[in-house]
A and B are shown apart, each in its own frame.
Chain A
Amino acid sequence: MTNPIISIKNMSKSYKDKKVIDDLNWDINKGDIVALLGRNGAGKSTLLESIMNLRDFQSGELTIWGDKWQDLSETKRAKIGFVPQDTVGFEWMKVKQFLSYLGSFFPSWDKQYCEELRSRWNIDENQKVGELSGGQSQILHVIQAISIKPELLILDEPVAHLDPAMRRQFISELVDLSCENSTTIIFSSHIISDLERVANKVVILNKGKISQNYEIDQLKSNIVHMKIKADKPLQQSEYYSELSSWHAFERGATAKLLRPLQQSIDEFIQHAEHQIEISPLSLEDWYLEVSNESY
């Protein structure tokens, strides 16, 4: 097992007496593309900003490539790209000035790639940053962050202001980055569709803790909707205790399996007393169920 790129141990942070990050543990491995989900106020931005050393946390430990921020070399720091949720500042600069100014801080800045991205996204280099639309401004910051050819890229709600076509194009930029540089990517989002194309892991943050952390493929093979056949209304018994959204019918019941079981679903069905038929559950349905039950 290789060492994780980011390792967080027992991180806690409070604003006054409200815990925002609560004894959080999280490892992120090289090449992972992680979708960080969670309701508003779950602590996503605080967590990402803490990883980026933009916020202090009161206890716990954070290492990136094995080093704490203060020990992280300039070269390594310059390999980390970050796009915050609210991209403000530099409104008076022209797009080309903005990009060349920020590019000057990064040794690995790829001017040609940056230019390619800017024209692919149809952003006028002579327009003022402050005059761009919400979506364009967001993309400009993404362009800036990926033009450094980052090894680690952290994006806070990168698609919030993008229309579906832009979202798809954004996804394909991430795929390119992952193919060319094996970039490790973490992005927070509320939009479940599309993320499945690119993310291999999904993590849900709830009340400052990681409540779910799965490989998407493994998760999708293990979450299902179940129809259970019986000759009378069926109440949830011990065997079915791990199922959620139980609903009894005249002859049987329906339920959802939201977390992988110890055994495979086939085994579960074979050992059940009743006849069970399953249908796949989409990640979106899963997310809604899971975030509602723990809210």
Chain B
Amino acid sequence: MTISSTINLFSLNVSSGIPIYRQLIDQIKQAVRMGLLSTHEQLPSVRGLAKALQINPMTISKAFAQLEVEGVLVRKRGVGMLVAQAKQDTALSQKTEEALTQFIQDAQNDNLSDDEISTLVQQHLSLKGKKTKENKK
């Protein structure tokens, strides 16, 4: 994929509290999940992408390395980074997908805003963390 088209996949907010490499990771994953980047597709070089996005090349290398560890990208010698074959478990199961759609619909019917829904999920996740810890005790 050319650099000029790849940069359209990114919307980086450099002054947000989220590290830039983290934003790159999330947005590449998102693009892969949505099929905007397809399997075996080649990503631009670190330097090319750094120049185009105007960010430190180390930040790009770091994101690529992490995505390689997570199996989203594979490094091919002399070529660069390619999108890996999608893993089964990265796709949502149909059951989860349906439950999620249902949950969002219910929450919206309860007049919750998108932000509130997202906070609710966060809260439950951190409560779950606490419970697992208590169970261990």
Contact = CB atoms under 8 A, between A and B. Distances in A.
A178 B61 CA distance: 13
A224 B56 contact: no
Chain B interface, DSSP helix/strand/loop, else mixed: helix
B68 to A, nearest CB: 17
Chain A interface, DSSP helix/strand/loop, else mixed: helix
A160 to B, nearest CB: 19
A176 B20 contact: no
B33 interface: no
Contacts of B20: 196-197, 217
Interface in B1-50: 14-22, 47, 50
B12 to A, nearest CB: 8
A270 B129 contact: yes
Interface in A197-222: 197-200, 216-217, 220-221
Given A200-B56, A216-B19, A270-B129, A179 B14 contact: no
A295 B51 CA distance: 37
Given A221-B22, A266-B129, A175 B56 contact: yes
Nearest to B130: A270
Interface residues of A, number: 37
B129 A220 contact: no
Interface residues of B, number: 27
A268 B129 CA distance: 12
Nearest to A280: B17
A179 B130 CA distance: 45
B96 interface: no
Contacts of B99: none
Nearest to A168: B54
A220 B14 contact: no
A277 B54 contact: no
B15 A196 contact: yes
A103 interface: no
B17 A197 contact: no
Nearest to A219: B19
Contact of A277 (B50, B56, B123): B123
Given A175-B51, A217-B19, A277 B122 contact: yes
A199 B133 contact: no
A178 B57 contact: yes
A36 to B, nearest CB: 16
A284 B15 CA distance: 8
A197 B20 CA distance: 8
Contacts of A199: 56
Given A271-B133, A280-B16, 18 more contacts: A175-B50, A175-B56, A179-B47, A179-B50, A179-B51, A179-B57, A196-B14, A198-B54, A200-B59, A221-B19, A221-B22, A270-B130, A277-B119, A277-B123, A277-B126, A280-B17, A280-B18, A282-B15
